[in-house]
Amino acid sequence: MDENAAHRLKSGLLKAGHLIGLFLAMAIICLPGLWIVLSSLRPTVEIMAKPPVWIPQQISFDAYIAMFSGVGQGGIPVLEYFRNSIVISVTSTVIALAVGMAGGYAFARYRFSFKSSIFLGFMLTRTVPGIALSLPLFFVYAKLGIIDTHFGLILAYVALNVPFTIWLIDGFFRQVPRDLAEAAQIDGCTRWQAFWQVEFPLARPGIASAGIFAFLISWNEFALASQLTRSTNSKTLPVGLLDYTAEFTIDWRGMCALAVVMIIPALTLTFIVQKHLVSGLTSGAVKG
Amino acid sequence: MATVSLKNLVKNYGNLEVVHSIDLEVEDREFIALVGPSGCGKSTSLRMIAGLENISGGEIRIGDRVVNDLPPRQRNISMVFQSYALYPHMTVAENMGFSLKIAGRPKSEIEAAVAEAARTLSLENLLERRPSQLSGGQRQRVAMGRAIVRNPDVFLFDEPLSNLDAKLRMQMRTEIKKLHAKVQSTVIYVTHDQVEAMTLSDRIVIMRDGHIEQVGTPEEVFKRPQTRFVAGFIGSPTMNLREATVDDGKLAFDNGDTLPLPPQFRSAVTAGQKVVFGLRPDDLYPAGHGLHSGEAHDVHTISVPVSITEPLGNETLVFAEFAGEDWIARMLNPRDLHPGKKIDLSFDLSQAHLFDAGTEKILRS
């Protein structure tokens, strides 16, 4: 075998190894999701079986039917939970994005005193685990009388998401050359128009990704929601999962079915928004 | 079309003053170039005219309006940026028509204006492309097209050719000159490239450390530099500038070598005065290989050794050692010269410049 053939073989093997590695990594990432979907479709005996049953013997949608069949017939108020989750997640995401855009723009474009300290301060708030805040937050909310309200959770999630959205959007505005906004101003724009006509469209991938992350964090958040909600007035889907636990039993199939119901909107949203995540949109703006 | 007038224009950043009270009158339809080394305040001055920087003092007039505090959009100017600053999310046509769209003009008018500008700049085939699909030269033309479409009173150019390679730069230089001839508007052009300034402009403003050193036509600043800085900045290769002391009808250099004091300066200097002697490479040449000939020139020839040579084909730059330093001489109709060889070097003293070593200002002949 000559030298070239040996190298060809080696690069072929490397490529195969690379693909196998990727497949394994993806399998590990996707397996829990797949397991949830499978578990929502089969009886508890099969879910709890040891060794695990990979291919379901029989598939039934009983858990989904039961979920929507109302309280008393094995159902839970899923529509109310869903509504609460949507209202809270969407509102908190919109607010976090608005504040994040204003803040990110300010950090990217303006000079002001204590800029880096403030930025660092924002980042530090992210180092505190949400659960550590739940008790103090509970006391404050109890005093204010906003426990078990949409407002209370929206407030908590905005506070949770704003540092993150500012940080992410700041990075994207930094990538938009300053010259572009100046050129727009010379072309007749006000500062405000220059932002919406030129800088915003170019930072959109960043704003979209910040939006997805903020939405997912609010949508999936459990620790705070479980403390700050009480009833169908404000309970979100992750808290609703607890409805499937009783004193001595856990309805794994029902829980998995609700988890699937939770995953679908998040997955759909991510899918819709991902087309805005095209990076490299600013190429060609300036020399490069 | 308009005049531009700067009066006592000042710019501070905190305690740091970067533009010190400059005055400048730009005529209607004049092409004026601001040149100077990095950090001389030329771009800052341009940005103040554009309204992109606040002014700290003084007055800016465009036409008969004082525009000191007006935002850029109310100054009726266009600007071409060094980075092109094209909007990447818009096509070439949208880029060029953007200002009219913002102004709320009808679609038909925008299309007509864009088509007209595209014709002027040969961009007709590129109108549907995005900036990322264009070459550097094309992007630069689009940036100029965007400026033309606005039909402004004043065009501002901020080092528009610095990002292009040498060949393209020359080509675009010609295009800018043609464009100015066609649109006949007032242009203020910032560059650090003196060749661009010399070739394009009606008048050149040479700036240094936030001051204006000299304003004049390309010929004036080349032939009659008012300060040592201008003498050294304008011209390529640069003027030979050497410190000397006036001594009994001679100029004595530090190592003891001397040159006769050019007669035209005799009344302008006093014995013992420290001066800077300046001679362009064109006026310094191996005997018989110079630009000038004839009686009118006061030529002094000295035998000196050659350090190195830079052949350029039609001429050779000769670095010859005199007064302890290398002097650049321009040799026309070149012949082979070897380092170390002694040559007769002719100094055309009638073309010499003399500056006071302290004030660095020209000494009148």
CATH number of the domain enclosing A169: 1.10.3720.10
Could you list the beta-strand ranges (E) of chain A: none
pLDDT attached to residue A166: 94
Let me know: does A204 contact A173? Beta carbons within 8 Å. Answer: no
- Judged by CB atoms closer than 8 Å, whether chains meet at B163 and A283 is answered as no
Measured between beta carbons, the chain B residues lying within 8 angstroms of A287 are 82-84, 136, 163
* A82 and A112 within one domain: yes
The DSSP secondary structure of B273-294, one letter per residue, reads -EEEEEE-GGGEEETT--S--S
- The pTM for the full model equals 0.82
Residue A288 reports pLDDT greater than 50 = no
A102 & A234 share domain: yes
Domain co-membership, A259 together with A164 = yes
Residue A111 forms contact with B (CB below 8 Å): no
Q: Are both B32 and B54 inside the same structural domain?
A: yes
Residue % of chain A over a pLDDT of 90: 52
Q: What is the pLDDT of residue A57?
A: 81
Interface list for B 228-267 with A (CB within 8 A): none
Domain's final residue, options A17, A41, A67:
A67
B293 and B169 in a single domain? The answer is: no
CA distance A174 to chain B (A): 15
Contact A189 B102 (CB under 8 A): yes
Q: Are residues B213 and B300 in the same domain?
A: no
pLDDT band at A73, cuts 50/70/90?
Answer: low
- The DSSP code for A245 is B
Taking the C-alpha atoms of residue B74 and residue A162, their distance in angstroms, rounded to an integer, is 37
CA distances from B308 to A134, B317, B318 (A): 79, 9, 6
Place of tokens 């040498």: B166
A175 and A252, same domain (yes or no): yes
Question: Is A111 part of any domain?
Answer: yes
Q: Total structural domains in chain A?
A: 2
Residues sharing a CB contact under 8 Å with residue B128, sequence separation 6 or more, in sequence order: B91, B92, B93
Which domain, by its residues, includes A59? 3-67
Select from A149, A3, B204, B307 the least CA-distant residue to B213: B204
B84 contact A CB<8A: yes
Q: Given pLDDT bands bounded at 50, 70 and 90, which one contains residue A173?
A: very high
pLDDT for A208-255, tens place per residue?
A: 889 998 999 999 999 899 989 988 889 999 999 888 888 788 888 889
The full DSSP string for A77-121 is -HHHHHHHHHHHHHHHHHHHHHHHHHHHHHHHH---TTHHHHHHH
First-to-last C-alpha distance (Å) of chain B: 40
Strand partners, B327: B320
Reduced to 3 states (helix: H, G, I; strand: E, B; else coil), residue B246 is: strand
**ipTM of the complex as predicted:** 0.85
More confident residue, A49 or A5: A5
How far, CA to CA in Å, does B98 sit from each of A14, B78, B123, B148, B180?
51, 12, 16, 12, 22
Cβ distance of A287 and B84 shorter than 8 Å: yes
| Arithmetic mean of pLDDT, A153-164 | 93
Question: Which domain-ending residue is among A67, A89, A119?
Answer: A67
Whether the pLDDT of residue A282 is over 70: the answer is no
Parts of chain B with a pLDDT under 50: none
Phi/psi for A182 (5° steps) reads -65, -40
A55 lies in the same domain as A109:
no
Same domain, A113 and A210: yes
Q: Do A87 and A11 belong together in one domain?
A: no
Confirm whether B265 is domain-assigned.
Answer: yes
* pLDDT greater than 60 at residue A287: no
Whether the CB-CB separation of B75 and B67 falls below 8 Å is answered with: yes
Mean pLDDT is lowest, of A62-66, A135-139, B22-26, B274-278, for: A62-66
Do B181 and B36 reside in the same domain of the chain? yes
Q: Which among A67, A97, A113 is the end of a domain?
A: A67
Q: How many domains does chain B have?
A: 2
Considering the domain architecture, whether residues A16 and A117 belong to the same structural domain is answered as no
Which of B 41-80 lie inside 8 A of A, CB atoms? 50-52, 71-73, 77-79
Same domain, A114 and A53: no
Contact assignment for B84 to A282 by CB distance below 8 Å: no
Q: How many helices (H) and strands (E) does chain B have?
A: 8, 20
pLDDT of residue B50: 95
- Single residue among B206, B233, B260 that ends a domain in this structure: B233
B29-61: buried (b, 16+ CB within 10 Å) or exposed (e) per residue?
Answer: ebbbbbbbeeebbbbbbbbbbbbbbebeebebb
pLDDT of A276 above 90 = no
> Per-residue DSSP letters for B167-204?
HHHHHHHHHHHHHHHHH--EEEEEES-HHHHHHH-SEE
B274 and B188 within one domain: no
A73 Cβ contact list (under 8 Å, min separation 6):
A66
Lateral strand order in the sheet of B258-260: B258-260, B250-252, B240-247, B274-279, B353-356
Determine, for residues B88 and A184 on separate chains, whether the beta-carbon distance falls below 8 Å. Answer: no
Residue B363 lies in a domain: no
pLDDT at residue A130 tops 90: no
- Domain shared by B116 and B157, yes or no: yes
Boundaries of domain holding B255: 240-356
Which of B233, B266, B288 lies at the terminal end of a domain, its last residue?
B233
Q: Does the residue A105 lie in any domain?
A: yes
> Residue A193 is nearest to which of B81, B102, B130, comparing CB atoms?
B102
Query: In terms of domains, do B157 and B277 share one?
Result: no
Both tokens of residue A63? 């858990």
> Is residue A288 assigned to a domain?
no
Q: What share of chain A is helix, strand, coil (3-state, %, to 5)?
A: 75, 0, 25
Residue A186 and residue B84: Cβ atoms within 8 Å? no
Give the per-residue pLDDT at A69: 79
Evaluate if residue A280 carries a pLDDT over 80: no
Instruction: Inspect the interface and report whether the beta carbons of B88 and A282 lie closer than 8 Å.
Output: yes
Nearest C-alpha neighbor of B323 from the set B239, B232, B240, B242: B242
Yes or no: say if B37 and B85 are a contact pair by the CB < 8 Å rule: no
pLDDT band for position A74 (cuts 50, 70, 90): low
The domain boundary, picked from B190, B205, B233, lies at B233
Here the CATH number for the domain that contains residue B332 is 2.40.50.140
Q: Give the pLDDT of residue A279.
A: 53
Is B111 among the domain residues?
A: yes
Residue A287 resides in a domain: no
Burial level of B10, CB count in 10 A (0-12/13-18/19+)? middle
B364 located within any domain:
no
Domain co-membership, A47 together with A83: no
Instruction: Evaluate if residue A285 carries a pLDDT over 70.
Output: no
The pLDDT, as a whole number, for residue B134 is 92
On whether both B27 and B142 belong to a single domain, the answer is yes
